[in-house]
Each structure stands twice: as C-alpha cells, then as structure tokens.
Amino acid sequence: MLEILRAAIRAGGPLTLAAFMELALYHPERGYYARTAERSGRAGDFFTSVDVGPLFGELLAVQFEEMRHILHAATARTEFDLVEVAAGNGRLSRDVLDAAEQHHSYLYQAARLSLVERSGPAREAQRSVIGRHGRKLSRSSPDLPSSVHGVIFANELLDAMPAHAVVMRAGRLRELYITEQDDRLVETEGDPSTPALAEHFARVDVVLDDGARAEVSLAAIDWIRTAARALDAGFLLLIDYGHDAKGLYSPLHAAGTLMAYRRHTASGTGWLDRPGEMDLTTHVDLSAVRLAAEAAGLTTLGLVDQTYFLSALDLAERLESGHDRAALARRLAAKTLVVPGGLGSTMKVAVFARGVGAPRLKGLAGGRLT
C-alpha cells in the first residue's frame, strides 16, 4: 500500500485526505476493506452494533415492518425492498430476516433483499451468511439499485467514506494533503483542491475557528443524492457517528474527528504509518446530509440518538427476565446498544422518506427531532 501511495504522489503530487482514504481503504487489491470479508468483531479492529449480536437486527425488523405497513397503505404495492448498503458479509440483513421470519410474517413475505457492498471478499461471503434466506436475496452488488420501493438502510456507511481535511488559517480555508518526505508520508497544507469545500461550510452556515481542523466528506453527500434518486418510494435510514454541523465544527472537535482503528485501539495520530492496515473514519455532518436529502425531494422524519431509537422499538419488552446465560447475554447486548455515552449516544439515526407523507415512526417517537 505504501508503494501504491508513493507512486500516486509521484505521479500526481500530494494527495488529498479523500484520495488517500480512497486508496488506503478501497484500493481493489491492497485496500483495507478490499482484502478481507470482515473487519469488525473480536478478531478485527473495531466493534459495530452488528457485532453486539442479533438484537440490533431484531429491533430494526420492528421498524421495517412498520415502514412496510405504511408504504403498502400509501401505494397498495405488496413487495418491499430491503436494501442494505455497507452490508459487509450480510450479517445484519440475516439478523433482520431471522427476526422477520419469526415475528413479522408480512415483512418476511414481502422482503426483496439487495446487498450493496464495495468489498469483493465481503460480497462473496454474503450468500453463505444469508443461508436459508437465500431466495430472498435478489441482488448483491457494489452499486445501489436504480429503483427502490422499500427501505435503503446502512450502519456505519457514511463515516467510512473518503473525506477531505481542512484547517482555518487567519481566516483562510486551507486543505491538508499527504506527501512524501525523507521516505515517510507526512501532512502538508495547500489551497483547497475544490471550491466545494468552502461551499460546504457556507451551506451549513459554519465558519471554523482559527487553527481548527475539520473533515468534509463530499463523497457522503454525493452518496445521499444518489440514494435519494434511487428511492422511488419508501425510506432511507442511516446509522452513523455524526453531529449537526454546529456540533461537528465546534471547539469540541477543533482537532477534527479523523480516527484510525487497529486491533481495538483508536488513535487520532499515527494513521499515516500503516496505510491499508487500519480502518479510517470521520464523523458525519448530519446537517449537510439533511440538506442534501431534502434538496433531493426527501422528507426528514427524524434525527435521534441510537439510544432513543432502539429503546422506542419495544426494547424492554424484548428482554427476558431470567438469569440463564441467554437472557443475561441479551440484556448485556441491549445495554451495549443503548447506554448513553457508548454506542447509544455516539451513533445517530437519521430517517428520510419519499411518497408516504410524514408519518411519526415508532423508532422516532421517543427522541427529539434535531
């Protein structure tokens, strides 16, 4: 990977952070995600809500069943596309289908699953992970389908997308680049690679403090536009590390939010030393996501902490009260998913809709509309 990056720098000059992330994470042969089917979990580098166990998918199935019901009432069509993006090897969709098969027969019957994932090895593993639900899997691809009637959903997609890094210097927006110096990769500053960065801050009405560093994922905003176009009718549900623009670009995050994960150790520095061996993430600008979704004709239904969202989906009723191993494990999983301060408050749930009006969804009932 180091050789690939050096060759790219020698050929085209310093790389933006977005170009660096694109190569380090997604280069077709050497990229971090391209080399293996699963990166998270105990044996991997980081944990997601999917790693906590089947409860997360079980709770999402409750929300999807309500969405199916609403969409059916609005359009009289019976099929319901479940389009998971950043699907990895398909574990979350399997958990959703397991729960639908057991508890939501209409959802299970109507479900037409589409898995969208950039990583080749992850896609190859999907059919065996989906197992007995194989006939529900209609499509597995690196790209979104062009026409969706149902829900497009993703856990930790936008925070894994390439982002530009900027810094404010004496009232001027500068961009951070990666270049080579004495055989090492180092950061350097230059003029912004695109006017879209300044336009981004103008759109969300934020001026960075002097010296503040920040990341902007133009790729994430582009993806929202593409997903909104693909959604004929139904819902877009995204779960990601994120904040509204005023929070994301506040003094609390004056050093930016770029983090590198390796073997469950997170670091805001050192990410240049082992490219291709670490996960790289940045927090998502949810104000920009919302503006892009609304500009593309979607209605914002809500933006809430994962704690509120999952708790509102009958979480308490789903936890058995016994003291056997299984009951204890489920209660522990619930705690990991919702306890404030952990995944529950760092992860935000954003839901948008098209063609169904502005229903008050079950998962959004307990939270605030940001």
Ligand X SMILES: C[S@@+](CC[C@H](N)C(=O)[O-])C[C@H]1O[C@@H](n2cnc3c(N)ncnc32)[C@H](O)[C@@H]1O
Residues at the contact surface with ligand X, assessed by CB under 6 A = 33, 40, 48, 50, 85-86, 88, 116-119, 122, 155-157, 160-161, 223
Indicate the length of the chain as a whole number: 370
Q: Give CA–CA dist 113/140, Å, rounded.
A: 9
* 179 exposure class (CB count in 10 Å sphere: 0-12, 13-18, 19+): middle
Q: Closest approach of Cβ 181 to ligand X, in Å?
A: 30
Cβ atoms of 162 and 215 closer than 8 Å: no
In the bound state with ligand X, the residue whose beta carbon lies nearer, of 14 and 344, is 344
Min separation Cβ 94 and ligand X, Å: 12
Contacts of 73 (CB under 8 A, 6+ apart): none
User: What CA–CA distance (Å, rounded) separates 241 from 49?
Assistant: 12
The encoded tokens of residue 149 equal 């009637």
Q: Which contacts (CB < 8 Å, 24+ apart) does range 250-257 have? A: 251/209, 251/212, 253/214, 253/283, 254/209, 254/211, 254/212, 254/213, 255/213, 256/165, 256/213, 256/214, 256/215, 256/282, 257/215, 257/281, 257/282, 257/283
Shortest distance, position 370 Cβ to ligand X, whole Å: 22
Cβ closer to ligand X: 85 or 214? 85
Q: Residue 92 CB, nearest distance to ligand X (Å)?
A: 6
Give the residue with the Cβ less far from ligand X, 86 or 218: 86
**Among positive and negative, which fits the CA dihedral 228, 15, 283, 197?**
negative
Please, what's the b/e burial string for 124-135 (b: 16 or more CB within 10 A of its CB; e: otherwise)?
ebbeebbeebee
Residue nearest to ligand X (CB): 86
Q: Residue 9 or residue 159: which is nearer to ligand X going by CB? A: 159
Residue 102 or residue 226: which is nearer to ligand X going by CB? 226
CB of 32 to ligand X, least distance (A): 9
CB 235 within 8 A of CB 149: no
Distance in Å, CB of 200 to ligand X, minimum: 19
Least Å distance, CB 116 to ligand X, is 5
Residue 346, class by beta-carbon neighbours within 10 Å (0-12 exposed, 13-18 middle, 19+ buried)? middle
Q: Provide the minimum distance between the beta carbon of 217 and ligand X in the complex, in angstroms, as a whole number.
A: 11
Q: Give 249's DSSP letter.
A: T
150 vs 359 by CB, closer to ligand X: 150
Kindly tell me which of 44 and 366 has the beta carbon lying closer to ligand X. 44
Between 60 and 160, name the residue whose CB sits nearer to ligand X. Answer: 160
